[in-house]
Amino acid sequence: MNRATVEERFLKVTKRFAKLSGVWPEQNKFVKFLLWAMVDITMASSIILQTARVIHIGTLDVVIEQSSLIGAMILMIIKHGNYLVNATKLESLLNDMSEDWATNRMKEEFEIMTTYANRGSFLAKFYSVNDSLSANAGVLTLIFIQMPWSPRLIHMLKHQNTSPPLIYSIPSYYFVEDDREYFYYIQLYLSLCVYVVLVVFVSCDTLYMVLVQHGCGLLTVAGYRFKNAVKKNFLGAKCTETKEVHESVWYSICGHQKAIASVLLRDCISYHPH
């Protein structure tokens, strides 16, 4: 199975979001730079505006409300930055994955790898966009973006004489005297922030999911090969089969070492605080 087929079958969603966030290795450098700038500028400005709200109001409730949002965005910048700093390692992991699929294997081993690859692909699809109304990133993002608009729509339908409520998906201080005058501009900016958060989290997390499942598949394949070799040796292999048994054991050990190296390299590029 060549790389194009692997990406089409198991990395379709992940590749799409990784390109949008600028972490996919095979992107145009200029496009990647623009995407990096958009992510960093958007998140940094949002952190500044939220911090300004804490300083401007200064109540304990506001500090508690903003701390979780600010913390999440700081972690997101770190997560995204890790993938950028370790772009070479990520490319190496993806190349190794392609080589693993291109290697001649027994039918049973391909079935094992396919099982884990399908699991990783399913988790990536469920995490990003799912057809059912379940708790996934796509649905939650739409709910998050519509928060400021639903009260205004209800207010318009009721034909009330009062001013429509001002609700922001990300509470911040925007250094203006009247938020109503700039309400739509602020909402456009907040929608961009939510979009960036969605793209970065989905791209980084689904890459992690796919790589984890691939590593699990390699470990399972190594265990399967070793188990069969030991079983054959235990049953008493003929002299002509002894070499095959030794090769199977050697292959399983090498496969196990490669899987461990893949897991360690994956952990270097992924930031997932516990």
Instruction: Determine if residue 187 is left, alpha or beta; phi over 0 gives left, psi from -120 to 50 gives alpha, anything else beta.
Output: alpha
Residue 108 lies in a domain: yes
Name the residue among 118, 79, 90 with its Cα closest to residue 26.
90
Radius of gyration of the chain (CA): 25
Q: Which pTM value belongs to this model? A: 0.77
Residue 274 lies in a domain: no
Which structural domain range is residue 143 located in?
Answer: 3-269
Residue 46 lies in a domain: yes
Query: In this predicted structure, what is the pLDDT of residue 232?
Result: 53
Q: Strand, coil or helix: what is 135?
A: coil
Residue 171 lies in a domain: yes
Query: In this predicted structure, what is the pLDDT of residue 241?
Result: 53
Q: How far is CA 118 from CA 170, 214, 263, in A?
A: 36, 10, 18
Query: In this predicted structure, what is the pLDDT of residue 250?
Result: 55
pLDDT per residue of the chain (274 residues) written in tens, 0 to 9: 788 888 888 998 889 899 999 999 888 889 999 999 999 999 999 999 999 999 999 899 999 989 988 998 998 899 899 898 888 888 888 888 888 888 887 888 889 999 999 999 988 888 876 533 344 566 777 777 787 877 777 777 777 677 777 788 888 998 888 888 888 889 889 889 988 988 898 898 899 889 889 888 888 887 887 777 655 554 444 545 555 655 656 566 666 566 666 555 555 555 444 4
Question: What span, in angstroms and rounded, lies between the C-alpha atoms of 151 and 162?
Answer: 13
Domain count, the chain: 1
Residue 119 lies in a domain: yes
Q: What is the DSSP string of 222-266?
A: HHHHHHHHHHHHHT---HHHHHHHHHHHHHHHHHHHHHHHHHHHH
pLDDT by residue (tens digit) across 39-49?
999 999 999 99
Residue 69 lies in a domain: yes
Residue 89 lies in a domain: yes
Query: In this predicted structure, what is the pLDDT of residue 217?
Result: 87
